[in-house]
Amino acid sequence: MFPSSPDPLVLETIDRICKNEIPRFQGEAHYNTVPRALFKVFGDAGVAGLAVPEAFGGIAASASTSAAAFDLISRYDMGPAIFISVHAMACGLITRFGSADQKSSLLPKLASGDLLAAFALTEPGAGSDAQSLTTEAVQDGASFVLKGGKCYITSAGFADLYVVFARTADASGSGISAFLVPPGIEGFSIGSPEKKMGCELSPIASLFFDGARVPASALLGPLHQGFKVALSGLAGGRVNIAACANGLSRAALDAAVRHLKERRQFGRPLAEFQGLQFMVADMHSRLEASRLLTERAAADLDSPSASISSTRLSSSVAKCFATDSAMSITTDAVQLLGGAGYIREYAVERYMRDAKMLQIVEGSNQIQRMIISRELLDGQD
Ligand SMILES: Cc1cc2nc3c(=O)[nH]c(=O)nc-3n(C[C@H](O)[C@H](O)[C@H](O)COP(=O)(O)OP(=O)(O)OC[C@H]3O[C@@H](n4cnc5c(N)ncnc54)[C@H](O)[C@@H]3O)c2cc1C
């Protein structure tokens, strides 16, 4: 139906890694960490280089292949899918906007999984309204001095490289620039991992800049064009978040169907009660619609002829619909398992907690609805 299709070889490799490797990292000992050994296994298999060109050691996967990869990983555990998708977004930005030096020095190590990247846009005072960010980067000779802070940054404390968005001119979107900032430099510190509702294998924390100095060569893309850099990463990011939602929904629906067939009440399997059959039918229909919207959005990203406007629209529709569907499907799965659904051992409560995150990140679903309605009502690129 859609012109681009995922690469089956990449997906086979990912499925094998997920089955063999993820379970040993799912214990509490690894909560609130990025398990670097796991990231390296993905790196060795090419998955850390999904968004890196082959010339720099990556696999330059299509948006369709990337989306299918994140869908698959999320069926096992959403944490690795999230930190790898953020890493892929940062790699994509370096590929598109990096200087020759930035690309040759960073991309091969990012593709191999030796370096992990993070994306730092959100601030305590600037979330949905990211353009209002106040972290500043003041030019001082051949360097920029960063002052301010970021919050909720995925992989903070574990990443080797942060794409940091900071204000370099007036108070609008056109006064923001992007910088590549390594940890460990003077004036740059990182908070403790936040204690959060779910997604335990993908930590978030705050970044604090107090006079951190980076060379002018750390600028990613043109001066004052950082907001465009950020936006260019978000369309692909949203499709990947939709894909994560579909992976969670698939895992939840499979668990619910298994349970309905096995569990007996009133002398019959639960699967024989029509009220529950109808719930399963609705869950399946929502997942199918979400998958098709996600494939459509990925195909738009892969199509050289798709307009910016149609890509923005399809990625926001997919993100909003698939993540709202995942919230509904995972909540229904908990209900269908009854008491067992509320117990950690059965995993569906984890899917439900993880689904909530997806309605908030990469532009909340209210923001997606604003983008969708703006595209329809203003109708311009
Ligand atoms: C687990 C997790 C990981 C994250 N990872 C990253 C990361 O790696 N990098 C990064 O930069 N950020 C990251 N974030 C931050 C995330 O992108 C923001 O939380 C998100 O953009 C929402 O911003 P906010 O939390 O400030 O909410 P707010 O902007 O304060 O919004 C609060 C509520 O109001 C709604 N709202 C806001 N404005 C409007 C409006 N105009 N109309 C209608 N409703 C509105 C929102 O939808 C939301 O429901 C992460 C967050 C989480 C929870």
339: domain CATH number is 1.20.140.10
The predicted pLDDT at position 379 comes to 60
In ligand 1, the atom with minimum distance to the C-alpha of 199 is 1
How far is 117 from 154, CA to CA, in rounded Å?
A: 9
Q: Do 251 and 369 fall into the same domain? A: yes
In a domain, 213, yes or no: yes
In a domain, 58, yes or no: yes
Shared-domain flag, residues 200 and 57:
no
pLDDT of residue 242: 98
Q: What is the pLDDT of residue 205?
A: 98
Residues 70 and 190 in one domain: no
- Residue 267 predicted with pLDDT over 90: yes
Tell me: do 23 and 146 sit in the same domain: no
Distance of alpha carbon 13 from alpha carbon 73, whole angstroms:
11
Q: What is the CATH number of the domain that holds 221?
A: 2.40.110.10
pLDDT bucket at 380, cuts 50 / 70 / 90: low
Domain boundary among 181, 202, 226: 226
Assess whether 348 and 286 both reside in one domain.
yes
| Position 4 pLDDT exceeds 80 | no
Residue with tokens 């993540």: 323
> With pLDDT > 70 as the criterion, what percentage of the chain qualifies?
98
- In this predicted structure, what is the pLDDT of residue 23? 94
Q: Give the end of a domain, one of 96, 116, 136.
A: 116
Are residues 140 and 99 located together in one domain of the fold? no
pLDDT at position 174 is 82
pLDDT tens column, 191-232: 999 999 999 999 999 999 999 999 999 999 999 999 999 999
By most ligand atoms within 8 Å of CB, the mutation choice from 91, 122, 150, 202 for ligand 1 is: 122
Q: Whose CA is nearest to atom 32 of ligand 1?
A: 128
2-11, 76-85, 215-224: range with lowest mean pLDDT:
2-11
Q: Kindly provide the b/e burial profile for residues 239-250, where b requires at least 16 CB atoms within 10 angstroms of the residue's own CB.
A: bbbbbbbbbbbb
pLDDT at 7: 84
pLDDT bucket at 378, cuts 50 / 70 / 90 = confident
Kindly state whether residues 279 and 205 are assigned to the same domain.
no
Verify whether ligand 1 is closer than 6 Å to residue 130 (CB atom). Answer: no
CATH (domain of 106): 1.10.540.10
Max CA separation in the chain (angstroms): 80
Cα–Cα distance measured from residue 273 to residue 280, given in angstroms and rounded to the nearest whole number? 11
Between the CA of residue 67 and those of 63, 318, 372, what are the distances in Å?
Answer: 6, 11, 21
Q: Print the domain residue range for 328.
A: 227-378
Same domain, 283 and 253: yes
227-244 mean pLDDT: 94
Q: Are residues 139 and 247 in the same domain?
A: no
Q: Is residue 2 part of a domain?
A: no
Whether residue 12 lies inside any domain: the answer is: yes
173 pLDDT tier (thresholds 50, 70, 90): low
Secondary structure E strands in the chain:
117-120, 136-140, 143-154, 161-167, 176-181, 188-190, 204-215, 219-220, 264-265, 268-269
Residue 239 resides in a domain: yes
50 and 88 co-located in one domain: yes
Note the pLDDT tens digit of each residue in 296-330.
999 999 999 989 889 999 999 999 999 999 999 99
The label of the residue with tokens 């214990």 reads: 27
Cα–Cα nearest to 38, from 357, 68, 47: 47
Pair (147, 81) in one structural domain: no
Total number of domains constituting the chain:
3
Does pTM surpass 0.75? yes
For 89-137, write each residue's pLDDT tens digit.
999 999 999 999 999 999 999 999 999 999 999 999 999 999 999 999 9
Contact 82 CB / ligand 1 (< 6 Å): no
| Distance from C-alpha of 371 to C-alpha of 353, rounded to nearest angstrom | 26
Q: Is the pLDDT of residue 172 over 90?
A: no
Output the residue whose Cα is nearest ligand 1's atom 25.
127
Q: What pLDDT, on a 0 to 100 scale, did the predictor assign at position 50?
A: 96
Q: Is the CB of 120 under 6 A from ligand 1?
A: yes
Distance 293 CA to ligand 1 centre (A): 23
Does the pLDDT of residue 17 top 50, yes or no? yes
Domain final residue pick, 197, 226, 255: 226
Contact predicate 143/93, CB 8 Å: no
Average pLDDT over residues 358-362: 98
* Co-location of 270 and 354 in the same domain: yes
Angle between helix 8-21 and helix 36-44 axes, rounded to 10 deg:
150
Under the banding of pLDDT at 50, 70 and 90, the label for residue 9 is confident
Would residue 3 count as lying in a domain?
no
pLDDT score recorded for residue 1: 42
Evaluate if residue 279 carries a pLDDT over 90: yes
- Tell me how far the alpha carbon of residue 267 lies from the centroid of ligand 1, in angstroms: 48
